[in-house]
Amino acid sequence: MTEQSPNIHRKIIHIDMDAFYASVEQRDFPEYKGKPLVVGGLPEGRGGVVATASYEARKFGIRSAMSSKKALQLCPHALFVRPRFNVYREVSQHIREIFSRYTDLIEPLSLDEAFLDVTNDKQGIGSAIDIAKLIKQAIKDELQLTASAGVSINKFVAKIASDINKPDGLKFIGPSSIENFMEQLPVEKFFGVGKVTAQKMKQMGLHTGADLKKLEESELTRHFGKVGKFYYQIVRGIDNREVQPHRETKSLGAEDTFAYDLTTLEEMEAELDKIAVTVHNRLLKYELKGRTITLKVKYHDFKQITRNQSFQSPVNDLETISNTAKQLMAATGVDDVKVRLLGISLSNFGEIAIKQRDDKELGPGDQLELEL
């Protein structure tokens, strides 16, 4: 078999299930169909967070990582259900089996999304668009669920494409249209661009990919650090990352750079609570528990420190993550400091995170819709 020419474009599909956990619940419980359904923590008591919401609930502005109490305020007649991760895992395994009919190059990102490289598909179909259609139809016929697909020549563009025509969408962005597509893309849609970076870009007059494209690589790296090189390449449609079937997650976390420096412990703890919610949600989505919690602090002078605490057993509950991060923060000494960035991550992963601990904790429904 001859080696593939480097000039031959890869055929990459990104499959993303539509409101996966909520859709499974609506499939299994007919009384939920057509109603605003929130899967996640219940709003009673201390409340929890929204993991995912049905499309009916999203019309009221309910989004993932939002507090359940806030979701209830936005839609008082919303239905709230708890997760059944054992069911979601079974459905995910069936979806994975459908993928494997066409390729072994499958990179799962979570239970509900994956990259597929179908450059040399098993069935000799040749067309990535046709394969995406067949996968979507099989998911619909065999599981009574819908998925959206993005098709392109690299992972970055395929992932963005899958979100364009949701739900039950299919979007192809071919080689000849990639640069034009990237030029029109708002900067906040670029990987690695959070709200603070997006704000900085807009202050510099950079609103779209076309604006970024005007800058030299050296200018982008000077303003944005090493990720500037990535911006320079991706706005030109260059993303050489391979689909990795055996990718192993080493750590998972979230961080936030603030529009103004934090100067009090109260401010820092409030931000850590928010970051902990995001980390907790991501751990649920990727079914992970970690034995080590790490706090990252960057000061106004760009000095950076990390502090961590390890546990005998893996954890992923919100209270432990939040309280540990705040304890580590207080121990750093917060008198006369100015903090511009805080981050929390978990590592040293052990057993699969969401196991059936207690029937009381797991009932019908939960999920997280988070970008990577």
pLDDT above 60 for 239: yes
CA distance 71 to 73: 5
Cβ atoms of 183 and 208 within 8 Å: the answer is: yes
In this prediction, residue 65 carries a pLDDT of 75
pLDDT above 90 for 260: no
| Helix residue ranges per DSSP H, 122-264 | 128-143, 155-162, 178-184, 195-203, 209-213, 217-224, 227-234
Note the pLDDT tens digit of each residue in 96-120: 999 999 999 999 988 899 999 999 9
pLDDT above 70 for 3: no
Q: Would you list the DSSP string of 112-134?
A: TEEEEE-TT-TT----HHHHHHH
Percent of the chain with pLDDT over 70: 90
Architecture of domain 13-172: 2-Layer Sandwich (3.30)
Q: Which of 25, 56, 113, 287 is catalytic?
A: 113
**Vertex 274, ends 268 and 277: CA angle to 5°?**
140
The CATH number of 251-347 is: 3.30.1490.100
In this prediction, residue 250 carries a pLDDT of 79
In this prediction, residue 282 carries a pLDDT of 84
pLDDT above 60 for 304: yes
Note the pLDDT tens digit of each residue in 139-176: 999 999 999 999 999 999 999 999 999 999 999 999 99
In this prediction, residue 362 carries a pLDDT of 29
Map out the domains of the chain as residue ranges: 13-172, 178-235, 251-347
Architecture of domain 178-235: Orthogonal Bundle (1.10)
Residue 16 annotated as lining a ligand binding site: yes
Q: Mark whether 113 is an active-site residue.
A: yes
In the structure, what pLDDT confidence band is assigned to residue 74 with cuts at 50, 70 and 90?
A: very high
Q: Supply the pTM of this predicted model.
A: 0.73
